[in-house]
């Protein structure tokens, strides 16, 4: 069986990225261990009207969710993602709040998301963090540098415009595609840059 991708959703702005990424991972038939923090759930409600894990299940698609998504409570540090002996295909935190990024950078492990990220680093597994913050303080930058040196991929939610996005969905897909590339998941989200101008 394919090891799951661990997926954390925290309180930084960017709920559409999280929902679209979860939909695409399920579409790609990739098992997901999902952990939503309390602030992440509040974010989903604020930005997309998704007020519960059950509502998120509906947004992803109940059949896909039931087949590929296994949710865990962020308070449960005894869940499989907390152990290095439980195999995973890497981890993504999308969106990743600066508080979560800071905690991961110092190995705080106060929650399941933080502990799972700590495990990904110690086991030398892929860890992709998708922060959405601006402007960035020196503290933010130092934390990102510390994580990059530890092996994490810091992938800011900064959409490009060279592909001539026509909708918000196009801009969301640009970031989701980059995350999926980092996780090694095949997708067909948008045209890859080949040196020619987008029409």
> Which one, of 164, 106, 101, lies nearest residue 127 by Cα?
101
For 39, the token pair is: 């602030």
pLDDT in tens, the chain (199 residues): 799 999 999 998 999 999 999 999 999 999 999 999 999 999 999 999 999 999 999 999 999 999 999 999 999 999 999 999 999 999 999 999 999 999 999 999 999 999 999 999 999 999 999 999 999 999 999 999 999 999 999 999 999 998 899 999 999 999 999 999 999 999 999 888 888 775 5
Q: What is the DSSP code (8-state) at residue 78?
A: T
- pTM of the full structure: 0.95
Q: Within 13 Å and on the Cβ side, how many CA atoms surround 137?
A: 6
For the chain, the domains span 5-183
CATH number of 5-183: 3.40.50.1950
Q: State phi, psi for 69 to the nearest 5 degrees.
A: -110, 125
- Round to whole Å and give the CA distance between 25 and 5: 9
């Amino acid at each position: 069986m394919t090891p799951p991708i661990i997926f954390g959703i925290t309180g930084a702005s960017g709920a559409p990225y999280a929902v679209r990424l979860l939909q695409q991972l399920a579409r790609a038939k990739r098992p997901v261990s999902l952990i939503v923090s309390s602030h992440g759930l509040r974010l989903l409600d604020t930005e997309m009207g998704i007020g519960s894990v059950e509502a998120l299940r509906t947004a992803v698609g109940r059949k896909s969710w039931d087949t590929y998504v296994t949710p865990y409570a962020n308070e449960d540090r005894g869940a499989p993602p907390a152990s290095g002996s439980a195999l995973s295909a890497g981890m993504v935190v999308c969106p990743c709040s600066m508080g979560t990024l800071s905690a991961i950078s110092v190995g705080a492990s106060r929650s399941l998301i933080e502990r799972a990220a700590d495990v990904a680093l110690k086991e030398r597994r892929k860890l992709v963090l998708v922060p959405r913050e601006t402007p960035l303080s020196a503290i933010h930058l130092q934390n990102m540098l510390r994580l990059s040196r530890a092996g994490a991929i810091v992938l800011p939610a900064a959409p490009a415009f060279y592909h001539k996005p026509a909708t918000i969905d196009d801009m969301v897909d640009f970031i989701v595609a980059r995350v999926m590339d980092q996780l090694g998941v095949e997708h067909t989200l948008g045209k890859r840059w080949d040196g020619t101008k987008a029409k």
